[in-house]
Structure 1
Amino acid sequence: MAKSKGEINGHAMPHSESTDQILDRHRTSEQKSFGQKLRGFLRRNLMVILTVSGVLVGVGLGMMVRKMNLTRAQMTYFAFPGEMLLRMLKMIILPLVVCSLVSGAASLDTRSLGKLGGIAVGYFLGTTLIASCIGVSLAFIIKPGVGAGALNTNSLALESISNDKETADSFLDLARNLFPANLVAAAFRSYATDYKMVATGNDTNGTALYQKVPIGTDTDGMNILGLVLFAMVFGVALRKLGPEGEELIRFFNAFNEATMVLVSWIMWYVPLGIMFLVGSKIVEMEDVVLLVTSLGKYIFASILGHIIHGGVVLPLIYFAFTRKNPFTFLSGLITPFTTAFATCSSSATLPSMIKCVEENNGVDKRISRFILPIGATVNMDGAAIFQCVAAVFIAQLNNHELNAGQIFTILVTATASSVGAAGIPAGGIITIAIILEAIGLPTNDLSLMLAVDWIVDRTTTVVNVEGDALGAGILHHINQQEMKKKQQEAELGEDEEEEAEELLEVRVEAVANRADGESSPLVRHQAVRTPEGTPEAIESML
């Protein structure tokens, strides 16, 4: 007898759901799960997708608008949305740096602060020195200045840039800016040495003699180095106050959290601002073909150095310290990297970097808000690379053979001067002048660097902020290891205290039993456990 459609092997199947219906239900559930996964992915990575899309759309928009031959005034109007992004990011830098450093320094104990600070300084100096070595090596291998002797500023319609500041005065200014005379003025001005000619008399022919005398002046631009040092020391001082400083520490903590809320709001404007930043830069470009053909080897050497340092050296250092995949760590920082590429400013990238490092990579707030502002100020690996390449390039351009002493001077000066390099677009150009003065080369060709700085400065800033982020990850790992070690020591100490309390109880009971003239079972049990093996051994210990 043939079985009905609803029977299989004599067992009746529910007529309400056939095999096709079951397959459809599974297919629908799979589609729902895929849709949920897709929505979850888009929700988690929406900011990254929007930011990268902003860069791509900006490139296309810039190429389209470039064909319209805008006037200078129209270019300014076109760049306005991007200018607003830069202004918002710069607006948030001062409260973010000061409050984050004060709260970070106050939240760490003095011993941890000293140890982490020492490791951070060693990391920053070590990576910058490695970057300088990479830059010099690539410049000697690629030889960007050889064959470019006919190149001059006139061929590119550039104005010459002169810098007559002495090398010693440049480093003295760095030390002076560490201790600003006016904290309020340090928020928008920094110290810089200028010179005036003072008559000192006449020579034997009656000609007036003049002497160049350094004088102090103020220049526009935030003295971020002095603010960083003050905020760190002030945070340590608040911690030393104990209970009296708690109220002020809570104020800075609340100020810091409120600032991060503002950062999260600004981040939603970043894709639109980046789109117009990139587009306006493409519109403003001069003859790109002439620049690339004239300075192509210099651009190639600088960007290759950034790729080697950022793609190989820094990840290897991170892996050596943490034994974790560095690219997993870096994958959570696409938004700040894109912001760095578009703005060319380490300081402007700081708000998004702090937010992404904490939320995407789980770095402790005490570490990120203490280390990242310092790194954005003193850690300039990418700048050290292009500065060294530029110094060797200008030497080759002028047919000047560098000796071993001058090469060593370039390495040391680039490492030291990068500490004082401003975290702003084209901030590293001035530090190149310090290197050139130190090795006795003319600074007339600095305008060539400025002509292509808008290209090189993008990868420079990305490497700068990458070094800061990986440094924060390394310090977070070291701090976690220290905390685990302290926790294990504390648990071990608790176990030892419990054993000591048990032994004390045994001794007290032994004394009581000895007074009664008898031995308790507990004492007899302890006698078995003691090395001496007799109750008298315990009593003698009493």
Structure 2
Amino acid sequence: MFKLALHWQILIAMVFAFIVSSFLPEVSKYIDWIGKLFLNALSMVVIPLVLTSIVTSIGSLDHISQLKRIGIKTLALYVFSMFLAVLIGLSLVNLIKPGIGVGLEVMDTKILGNLTTTLSIKDILTNIIPSNIFAALSGMNMLGIIFVSILLGIFINISKTETKYVMNRFFNAAYDLTLSITKFIIKLSPIGVFVILLSQLSNVADVWQLLGNLGKYFLTVVSGLMFHLFITLSIILWLFAKVNPWKHLKNMMTPLITSFSSASSSATIPLTMEALEVNNGVSRKVTSITIPLGATINMNGTALLECVAVLFIAQAYGIELSFVQQIIVIITSLLAAIGTAGIPMAGLVMMAVILNAVGLPIEGIGLVIGVDRILDMLRTSVNVYGDTCVAVIVAKSEGETLKI
């Protein structure tokens, strides 16, 4: 039986929402509660999904006890490259301002109240370590939740064998259960997106203006991803490894094309390792640590896209994020990227995490989800290329003789 892929269903739902809003705009006020139910369901699974995903990802890493010199270099380079990607995204979205002029209205007055609450850098740092984990869970303190999840994952990994086995089984079971619920909710996303977008379009004076803004958003993300891939990562590769970045790019075409078509970093791990070892001469000792670890935590392209998406949503609602709130976007993007690789539509979950962290309306996801599939393919390729660049730099720093 023929069945449309989910991204096509979502795209059709968006088109249908545009059509209905043009001829029957009053329909939205009768069905907007369906959209609220969908958003509530999505918010419901965000915290347990992020917590269990991060704990299981770090807790089950094979090489964390062996990381030492190679692992520290790898982790530092992954964080550094993701940080640069986020800065590129923030710079472009603040420069181009793709969301300005949409003119959406925030329906929940509580959100406006939260946005007027000023936070200092000291507040951000204080919130990273919550005094009460249960208060952090109920208060949606995303930075605190992510930090505790990372800490828990690390200590599970380095615990005694029996403790590690029991805790990993518990959190893996919790993750599988939460993931099943998430998959069910995501299957309903075409209905949710239709209702949410229809409600938003009923408050937009010029629909064509919105379409133009979405086009600008798409181009902003693509420009950022291409700049990071061709310029930033090439400069990092040349500075730290003194190798020809264009030759490296040519050698990595097979895993890049595969990751683009599959939109999965994990699925391309064997091809990525083979390309690095055969074409570039990187040792298995390096690739066996850097590439599986990168597929789990190194999300250059994803972190960049999420930052652009969150600021685009803020601009669409006419909300100006303060410098401190943009710092929160940076920190949350970096931390939320860890462990989200195995989650279906990971970008959707990450976006919900960041929107909650800065207090923006989560229904803004409905604006950008329609173009997410194409961008997902691009950002996955950037993620994989970032992994390969780090592998080459680490190999070079270990004194290996490479073919490039």
Partner of 1:75: 3
Cα distance in 1, alignment partners of residues 310 and 4 from structure 2? 33
Aligned residue in 1 for 2:267: 348
Alignment match, 1:370: 289
How far residue 148 of structure 1 moved from its aligned partner, in angstroms, is 2.0
| Residue 299 to residue 371, structure 1, CA distance change in 2 (3 Å) | same
* Counterpart residue number, 2:191: none
Change (3 A) 1:407 1:183: closer
Following superposition of structure 1 onto structure 2, how do residues 239-254 of structure 1 map, counting pairs within 5 Å? Answer: none
**Tell me, what secondary structure is at the counterpart of 2:220?**
helix
The alpha-carbon distance between structure 1 residues 164 and 76, as it changes in their structure 2 partners (threshold 3 A), is farther
Q: Distance in 1 between matches of 2:276 and 2:61?
A: 16
Q: Distance in 2 between matches of 1:449 and 1:164?
A: 26
Residue in 1 that maps onto 2:94: 140
Alignment pair present for 1:396 and 2:315: yes
> Contact 2:88 / 2:224 at 8 angstroms: preserved in 1?
yes
In structure 2, the residue matched to 1:124 is 78
How far does the alpha carbon of each residue in 1:262-296 deviate from its partner, in whole angstroms, 9 at most, with x for none?
xxxxxxxxxxxxxxxxxxxxxxxx9xx98964511
Q: Return the TM-score normalized by structure 1.
A: 0.48
Q: State the alpha-carbon separation in 1 of the partners of residues 372 and 344 from structure 2.
A: 9
Q: Aligned in 2, Cα 1:105/1:185: closer, same or farther, shift over 3 Å?
A: closer
1:319 aligns with 2:295: no
1:9-408 aligned at under 5 Å gives the runs 73-75=1-3, 102=62, 113-149=67-103, 165-167=140-142, 168-178=144-154, 179=156, 181-184=166-169, 190=175, 218-220=177-179, 293=212, 295-408=214-327
CA apart distance, 1:436: 1.6
Whether the 8 Å contact between 2:146 and 2:335 is mirrored in structure 1 is: no
> 1:125·1:415 contact (CA, 8 Å) conserved in 2?
yes
Query: Aligned equivalents of 1:385 and 1:373: distance in 2?
Result: 21
Aligned partner of 1:23 in structure 2 is none
In the superposition, relative to structure 1, how do residues 105 and 443 fare at CA in structure 2: closer, same or farther (>3 Å)? closer
**CA–CA distance in 2 between the matches of 1:101 and 1:481?**
25
CA-based RMSD of the aligned residues comes to 3.4
Q: Distance in 2 between matches of 1:151 and 1:318?
A: 44
Residue in structure 1 matched with residue 53 of structure 2 by the alignment:
none
Alpha-carbon contact 2:105-2:317 (below 8 Å) kept: no
One-letter amino acid of the structure 2 residue matched with residue 317 of structure 1? I
Q: After alignment, is 135-144 or 437-446 more displaced?
A: 437-446
Quick check: 1:470 aligned with 2:398? Answer: no
1:90-145 Cα distance to aligned partner (Å, 9 max, x none): xxxxxxx99x975x789xxx6xx422222111111111111111111110111111
Structure-1 residue corresponding to 2:372: 453
- Once the two structures are TM-superposed, the CA of residue 374 in structure 1 deviates from its matched residue by 0.5
Q: Percent identity?
A: 32
Between the aligned partners of 1:296 and 1:189, the Cα distance in structure 2 is 39
Q: Which amino acid aligns with 1:169?
A: I
- Secondary structure (helix, strand or coil) at the match of 2:341 reads coil
Q: Secondary structure at the match of 2:324?
A: helix
Summarize deviations over 1:66-95 as a string: whole Å, max 9, x none. xxxxxxx41359x9xxxxxxxxxxxxxxxx
Contact 1:346 1:424 in 2 (8 A): no
Name the CA shift for 1:188/1:332 in 2 (closer, same or farther; >3 Å): farther
In structure 2, do the counterparts of structure 1 residues 188 and 375 end up closer, same or farther at CA, with 3 Å as the change threshold?
farther
Q: Following TM superposition, by how much is the alpha carbon of 1:312 offset from its aligned partner in structure 2, in angstroms?
A: 0.4
Residue 175 of structure 2 aligns to which amino acid in structure 1?
Answer: S
CA drift at 1:470:
0.7
| Residue type of the alignment partner of 1:220 | L
CA distance in 1, matches of 2:227, 2:71: 27
1:395 and 1:362 map into 2 onto residues whose CA distance is: 46
In proportion to residue count, which structure has more helix? 2
For 1:374-400, what per-residue CA distance to the aligned partner results, in whole angstroms no more than 9, with x for missing partners? 111111110110011011111101111
Cα distance in 2 between the residues matched to 1:380 and 1:175:
20
User: Do the aligned partners of 2:295 and 2:341 also contact (CA within 8 Å) in 1?
Assistant: no
**1:416 is aligned to 2:335:** yes
Checking the alignment, whether the CA contact within 8 Å between 2:179 and 2:343 is kept in structure 1 is no
In structure 2, the residue matched to 1:512 is none
Q: Tell me, yes or no, if the aligned pair for 2:229 and 2:385 is still in contact at 8 Å.
A: yes
1 CA distance for matches of 2:327 and 2:4? 44
Contact 1:134–1:305 at 8 Å: present in 2 too? yes
TM, length-normalised to structure 2: 0.63
**Number of residue pairs matched by the alignment:** 285
1:28-48 residue CA offsets vs partner (Å, 9 max, x unmatched):
xxxxxxxxxxxxxxxxxxxxx
The structure with the greater share of residues assigned to strand is 1
Q: Which letter does structure 2 place at the counterpart of 1:438?
A: A
Kindly tell me: are residues 352 and 130 of structure 1, through their superposed partners in 2, closer, same or farther at Cα, counting changes over 3 Å? same
Can you give the 5+ residue segments of structure 1 that lack an aligned partner in the other structure? Answer: 1-72, 80-96, 153-162, 192-217, 222-285, 483-542
**Cα gap change, 1:105 to 1:138, in 2 (>3 Å):** closer
Q: Which runs of 4+ in 1 moved over 3 A?
A: 163-166, 168-189, 289-294
Deviation at 1:327, TM superposition (A): 1.6
Name the counterpart of 1:70: none
- For residues 170 and 446 of structure 1, the distance between their equivalents in structure 2, rounded to whole angstroms, comes to 21
Alpha carbons 1:310, 1:463 under 8 Å: kept = yes
Gapped runs of 5+ residues in structure 2? 8-56, 107-137, 157-163, 181-193, 195-206
Q: 1: distance between equivalents of 2:149 and 2:344? A: 20
Q: Which moved more, 1:407-416 or 1:417-426?
A: 417-426
If asked which structure has higher relative contact order (CA below 8 Å, sep 6+), I would say: 2
| 1:480 aligned partner | 399
Q: What is the CA deviation profile of residues 159-214 of structure 1, one whole-angstrom value per residue up to 9, with x for unaligned ones?
A: xxxx99541335434444553744456667528xxxxxxxxxxxxxxxxxxxxxxx
Q: Per-residue CA shift, 1:414-455, capped at 9, x if unaligned? A: 122212322455212211222222222111111223221101
The separation in 2 between residues aligned to 1:297 and 1:315, in whole angstroms, is: 26
Question: In the TM superposition, what is the alpha-carbon distance from 1:306 to its structure 2 partner?
Answer: 0.4
> In the superposition, relative to structure 1, how do residues 146 and 479 fare at CA in structure 2: closer, same or farther (>3 Å)?
same
